[in-house]
Amino acid sequence: MIKLSPSILACDYNILGKQVKEAHEAGAVYMHLDVMDGLFVPSISFGMPVIKSLRKSTDVIFDTHLMIKDPIRYIDDFVASGSDIITFHLEATNEVEATIDKIKAAGIKAGIVINPETPVEEIKPYLNMVDMVLIMSVHPGFGGQKYIEQSTEKIRKARKLIDETGRNVELEVDGGINLSNIDEVLEAGANVIVAGSAVFGETITKNVKEFLEIFNKFERG
């Protein structure tokens, strides 16, 4: 199943709960939570208290994307705040396996993320351990950037590597995705689509439904 994971980075935080509810009710089954530490990426977004508070108002699946240095330090906190999936960057740690183990030991799903300049082959050693691979199609740190074209080839390669394992690993893509480039992302083999600025705005329900309609068409062939 192809899933939409709207990034709340593009929300109006004054009415965060309301906007998340609207996106969920319109059919988004994941909600993408971009956590930034001002160190691994230049910007700072939000952390555990916001997620914890949001958790009280929705049962949508929380897809937490950690853009933080040495993420192993905070896994317990992000699990406790209500994450269902935690992804972290290969570039942010020397303890990849231990971090995956820690996430899985908490009983939730674990995923690895690679930046645009990181070769896709680097995910290979971990494919037998993870539930998700996330390919960044922009440089992490800010919403509203332009999709980097070379990402499509990386998605294709990642899909091939995943299929070779025979395991059911989700392939997520994040950054600059909108209705005009979604087709090539799906054709390359992604099944979880992050979209921030293309979802949150004036017409959340309409935006979500437009994505889902394209997913349905694609799945029907």
- Interface residues toward ligand DX5, by CB under 6 A: 7, 9-10, 32, 34, 65, 138, 140-145, 174-177, 194-198
Q: Which of residues 64-123 bind Zn ion (CB under 5 A)?
A: 65
Active site residue 131: no
Min. distance of Cβ 7 from Zn ion in angstroms? 6
Give the residue nearest to ligand DX5 (CB): 196
Site for Zn ion in 166-195 (CB under 5 A): 174
34 is catalytic: yes
Whole-Å CA distances, 167 to 111, 136, 160: 14, 21, 12
Q: Which of 51, 13, 47, 8 is nearest to 31 (CA)?
A: 8
CA distances from 15 to 31, 36, 67 (A): 15, 20, 24
Which of the following is catalytic: 12, 34, 77, 163?
34
C-beta atoms surrounding 211 within 10 Å: 24
Query: Residue 115 class from Cβ within 10 Å (0-12 exposed, 13-18 middle, 19+ buried)?
Result: middle
Residue nearest to Zn ion (CB): 65
Catalytic residues: 34, 174
Binding site for Zn ion (CB under 5 A): 34, 65, 174
